[in-house]
Amino acid sequence: QSVLTQPPSASGTPGQKVTISCSGSSPNIGSNYVSWYQQLPGTAPKVLIYRDNQRPSGVPDRFFGSKSGTSASLVISGLRSADEADYYCAGWDDSVNGWVFGGGTRLTVL
């Protein structure tokens, strides 16, 4: 059971917009920044969003992060087949003095 809650799966067709949610609580999302990671099949994770809504250089602006209270969201617009991957949210948790991850959301592009 993960500290941060994500839907196990999401799907969309090419060109569509999909939203992946991440629900936490006061000591984690409510008090600290959220980051998002993309893991393509058979590869190591890669950061997509940091500090709730910042994109590292090289990450297209089709990926958008937001946060409100104890929940965060990752929105992927203009969906492409190359976006098929597992997506994870993460944040520092003050109550356990450690990082916590969501269980991951597998995105399927139909």
Partner 1 sequence: EVQLVESGGVAVQPGGSLRLSCAASGFNFDVYTMHWVRQAPGRGLEWVSYISMDGSTIYYSDSVRGRFAISRDNSKSSLFLQMNSLRSEDTAFYYCTKDYCRGSTSCYFESWGQGTLVTVSS
| Residues at the contact surface with partner 1, assessed by CB under 8 A | 2, 33, 35, 37, 39, 43-47, 50-51, 56, 86, 88, 90, 92, 96-104
Rounded to whole angstroms, the Cα distance separating 57 from 97 reads 29
- Closest distance to partner 1 from the beta carbon of 109 (Å): 20
- Closest distance to partner 1 from the beta carbon of 15 (Å): 28
In one letter, which amino acid is 93? D
Phi, psi of 55 (to 5 degrees): -105, 130
The residues facing 45 across adjacent strands are none
- Closest distance to partner 1 from the beta carbon of 49 (Å): 9
